Amino acid sequence: MSINWLYPLVSLLYAVVGWHFWRTRWRGVGHVATWESYVLLLPLIPHVILLTESTVMPDGMQLGMGNVVSMVIVLTILIYWLSSFHSRMEALNAPLAGIAAVVVWLPLLVPSTHLLANTELLAFRMHLLIAILAYSLFTIAALHATLMSVVERRLHHVQDTKFTVNLPPLLTLESLLFRLLGLGFALLTLTLVTGVVFSEEIFHKPAELNHKTVFAVLSWIIYAVLLGGRRLRGWRGKLAVRWTWFGFVMLLLAYVGSRFVLEVVLHR
């Protein structure tokens, strides 16, 4: 039985959640109610159902661009939701929900036509989980870096200071950014290592140096330099924000860019 009717419902729920947090956290300061801590689960749970339906098949998994990007966003929201109980970060709910409202449609707009075999292998599942965790953490880090940039600008405008009331101090936000980057970097390193080590077992061929690998390695180098600069030279502020986004763009090109060309442009 088709559950495609869930797509517009989930998208609408994300849009409503995003609008609520935009109105209360970006356009003003609302009272922080207990129910707000759980509101992201309303669209997230049916989103997981849709993703499972479009990805998991009896003979394998369909891991096209639409499904993988949707998977990354689901895990990004889940990680962010769990971490939000330790830090008051409701401001990111609005952009995250807005992105998810669009991304939820991708499995329909860019359907996967290739069934990936060997998905039952433990090596494959480990590699996939680590890779998606890395992408999710770097997605949060990129949004977090953007939030830091917005907060820094608004601190210089008296009329916009209400926005910062429910946020930790800028130095605390910066410290959290580098914790996200450090964990994401460790997972990205494991992604590259497991991709090389398990390539024969998963794909029945040695790891090859293609554009996907090149962009992933470039991203790894950028984040390594940023974390090294932070430790050795005390890099921070706008420099950290720029390098965070530079590395994230390389990471997007590594998978999303290559899959977009193959699946959407070349229809492979």
Query: What confidence tens digit (pLDDT) does each residue in 1-34 have?
Result: 567 888 999 999 999 999 988 887 766 555 566 7
The helix (H) or strand (E) run that includes residue 34 is none
Angle, CA of 194, 199 and 202, to the nearest 5°: 105
Share of the chain above pLDDT 90, in %: 38
CA pair distance 151, 146, nearest whole angstrom: 9
Which residue has tokens 């590395």?
247
CA gyration radius, the chain = 19
| pLDDT, tens digit, 9 for 90 and up, residues 135-149 | 999 999 999 898 888
CA pair distance 118, 125, nearest whole angstrom: 9
Q: Which of 92-96, 99-103, 194-198, 205-209 has the highest mean pLDDT?
A: 99-103
Q: Which position has the higher pLDDT, 172 or 218?
A: 218
| Other C-beta atoms lying within 10 Å of the C-beta of residue 33 | 9
Provide the whole-model pTM: 0.85
CA pair distance 8, 260, nearest whole angstrom: 23
Q: Is beta strand 56-57 parallel, antiparallel or unpaired with respect to 60-61?
A: antiparallel
Which pLDDT belongs to residue 82?
Answer: 86
| pLDDT, tens digit, 9 for 90 and up, residues 66-117 | 888 999 999 999 988 888 777 766 778 889 999 999 999 998 888 776 676 6
Tokens coding 222: 């950028």
Q: Which position has the higher pLDDT, 175 or 117?
A: 175
Residue type (1 letter), 185: F
What does the mean pLDDT of the chain come to? 82
Which pLDDT belongs to residue 187?
Answer: 95
- When pLDDT is cut at 50, 70 and 90, the band that residue 226 belongs to is very high
**Is residue 52 a contact partner of residue 67, using CB atoms and an 8 Å limit?**
no
**Is residue 235 a contact partner of residue 226, using CB atoms and an 8 Å limit?**
yes
Q: Contacts from 132-136 at CB under 8 Å and sequence distance 24+?
A: 132/68, 132/71, 132/72, 132/75, 133/75, 133/79, 133/187, 134/184, 134/187, 134/188, 134/190, 134/191, 135/72, 135/76, 135/251, 135/255, 136/72, 136/75, 136/76, 136/79
